[in-house]
Structures are given as C-alpha cells and as structure tokens.
Structure 1
C-alpha cells in the first residue's frame, strides 16, 4: 500500500475526536438469548481531523497535507493524543513497559505490541509505527542500548536484538508510537465565511490495517 512516513501536524490532531472501533455481529435467537461474534481480530481507530481546525491558517495547512497525500491514496502517521505511549498518558516510556516476547535460544526479532488488560481479560495490539528514537528495550529486566544492543525498524515496529536471548528470558520494550491512517474522504468542503462563523469541516481519518 502507498504510505508516506510523515506525521499529520500534531497541533491540528490535538483537538481531534476519535478512538477505537469494534465490529460485533449479534444474532438474536428464538428463545430470547443471543450469540455474539466478531470477524475482526483487532480494533480499528477512527478520527475526525476537522475538529482541530482553529484558524484559516490551520485549514490551509490541512488542505496542503490532504493534497500531498492525494486524498485517500497515501497513508500517513497520526498521533493519538489519548493513546500514544507504551505506559500511561502521563508517564515516560521505560524498557519494562510491555512484554513483547520470550527468548527461545534462536529468535532475535520481536514485534512491538501493547497489551490492554482489564478484569482478567486482555487485548494485544500490534504496534507498527513507533516514534524513531523513542524505543527502549530490556532482556531479562536489563536494558540494552539501541545500536549496540538492538535496532528497530520505525516503519514496521520490528525489534532486532544483536545477541540472541536465552530460552525463557523476557524481552520487553517501552516506546512512543503513531497510528498508521489514511483520509477516509476524497473531498474537503468548507467555506471561509462558514468556518469563521463556527462551521467545522468534516475530515474523517481511518486506521490502516497491515
């Protein structure tokens, strides 16, 4: 898929509205009970980029970004201000934040993930767009240095360790990350007069699946 490794202007995304979306299929049975299932293994995030526009200069910046992506043609990075760290929103990512795998004596590559846990259940989300320079990694609780101990591909989220971790050793990571998205429209319609009168443009953005 066409993807530009550029982040949507964070000053504009800060005021956006959006979050995770799930697809649940519900079948009502004759006895009044119901069956629930989902064809989606992972949630999908949607945002409205238009909410963050505060001035005509903001609109000009949005239009330039939209045109450079050719509307829906090319994907881009998006900072979800409510969920962009391996730790809590007010924390600082540390190398022990997220368990991303266990050594088996041969594997050296591990994909970044973030686990959401509540009430004994959890969901493991793949992280494919870490922020370059933000990734910290530990093996068996001991941090290893980027470059000397590991490398990470910021376009895929794949961590490569320079030394094979022993069998059963925990590999963990902390990081900041973006969401891979695209515009979900090929048209932006707004008038300068309407915007100054409080009219907000509708600019939907949707998460891309790998």
Structure 2
C-alpha cells in the first residue's frame, strides 16, 4: 500500500484552518525558579484544525472521501499552510547551500532567522511548476533537476567551491489525519458537522546526501 496520496484539500478549506508549527521542549524548574531547557525535536511538527474551513455539505463529502481513501490516520497527503508556504521570493532566491566542488545533491530548506539565531527547516513536497534553482544569484535552466517529493536538488556537475546555491519555490506540508475516526454530528437528514478535524505534520525521512 502507498504511504502517501499526492493530493491536496480545496483551497477554501485550507485557508480556513487554524494551527501552525510546534516544537517539543523539556523544561525543568529548580527551587530557585531558574530553568533548564532541553530541545527534544530538532525539526518542528505542525498541527492544524481544518474544521473551521468547512462551510458546505460538499466540503464534508470531500473530507469523508479523503478520510476513507487515507484509511484514517494511515496515509499522508499534501496540505498548504497558507501562513508559510514559500522559500525565497520572485527574483530573491534563498540560499540553501554552498558548493564544495564535489557535492551534487542538496536538500531544499527554509531558513528562519531572528537576531543571531537561525534554524533550517528541511522541506519536502515542493509544488511542481513553482521551483527555480540559482547559482550565485543566476537562475539555472539546465544541468539540474529537482525531485518535488523529496525536495532534493541534483546537479549534473557539482557546483564549484563557494558557489551559493539558491532556491525559489512553493511547498506543501505532508500531513495525516490525527485520528482513525471521523466523528460526524448529524443534526438532520441534510445537516451534518464535524467539530474538530486535526491534521498532524509527517516528519518525512530525508534522503541521505552524504
């Protein structure tokens, strides 16, 4: 059985969702009130409630169909987080790596920076037709391929040392239903509702590029 369905929800359902990225941190508080904190997750994991975006009967039919096709929480699918779905911007690529003259494969990442702190988020499930690759700020039109499912950028010839590898792309988030059950509230023959439909981000295995 496939572990992933390459499909997305209707835009209006995605845009009506509530949620975002999350981390897991252990916090110990001493008798003095001083804290010690330990980061458990190096990669964030998002959660979203999509029930807020469901307003029509055919929306419920779409969710029920996807829930059955995904066998509940078993199979993943694409979800667009409309609050965060871009790497770089038109004409302004984001650096994802630096060439060393030997490496030909690079993982797409999104960099989040605040002050002196930054975190690289590995990105899979790029959106086909939105991806542009750059070397030293110049778009590359040949000698490179991109796997939109894994987010791996592959060059035919390794970029020379110190060449900046840049990327502009949109991406989806791989998610699954949080529950095998889909509790539907049937009020009348023509009126149904689902109070909460939670999606959980799947931390997909990254390709070993070493």
TM-score of the superposition, structure 1-length normalised?
A: 0.90
Q: 1:127 to 1:23 in 2, by over 3 A?
A: same
Match status 1:122 vs 2:118: yes
Other structure's SS at 1:37 match? strand
Does residue 149 of structure 2 align to residue 155 of structure 1?
yes
1:41-85 Cα shifts (integer Å, max 9, x gaps): 011100012111001111011101111111101011100011111
SS of equivalent to 2:119:
strand
Contact 1:72 1:184 in 2 (8 A): yes
* Change in 2 beyond 3 A, CA 1:197/1:66: closer
Partner residue, 2:207? none
Q: Secondary structure at the match of 1:11?
A: helix
Offset of residue 8 of structure 1: 2.5
The aligned residue for residue 81 of structure 1 is: 82
Match of 2:130 among 131, 134, 137: 134
**C-alpha separation between the residues in 1 aligned to 2:163 and 2:6?**
33
Gaps in structure 1 of 5+ consecutive residues: 88-92
Say what the alpha-carbon RMSD is for the aligned residues: 2.0
Q: How does 1:167-206 map to 2 (within 5 A)?
A: 167-193=161-187, 200-206=194-200
Aligned to 1:99: 95
Assess if the C-alpha contact under 8 Å between 1:95 and 1:138 holds in 2: no
Which whole-Å CA distance do the structure 1 matches of 2:15 and 2:124 have between them? 21
Aligned counterparts of 2:121 and 2:49: Cα–Cα separation in 1: 22
What residue is the counterpart of 1:40 in the other structure?
Answer: 41
User: C-alpha separation between the residues in 1 aligned to 2:185 and 2:197?
Assistant: 14
Query: Is 2:17–2:52's contact at 8 Å kept on the other side of the alignment?
Result: yes
Shift of 1:4: 1.5
Unpaired runs of 5+ residues, structure 2, are 205-210
Residue of structure 1 equivalent to 2:28: 27
Matched, 1:166 2:160: yes
Partner of 1:90: none
Count residues with an aligned counterpart: 203
What is the distance in 1 between the residues matched to 2:36 and 2:124? 33
Whether the aligned pair in 2 keeps the contact of 1:96 and 1:138 (CA below 8 Å) is no
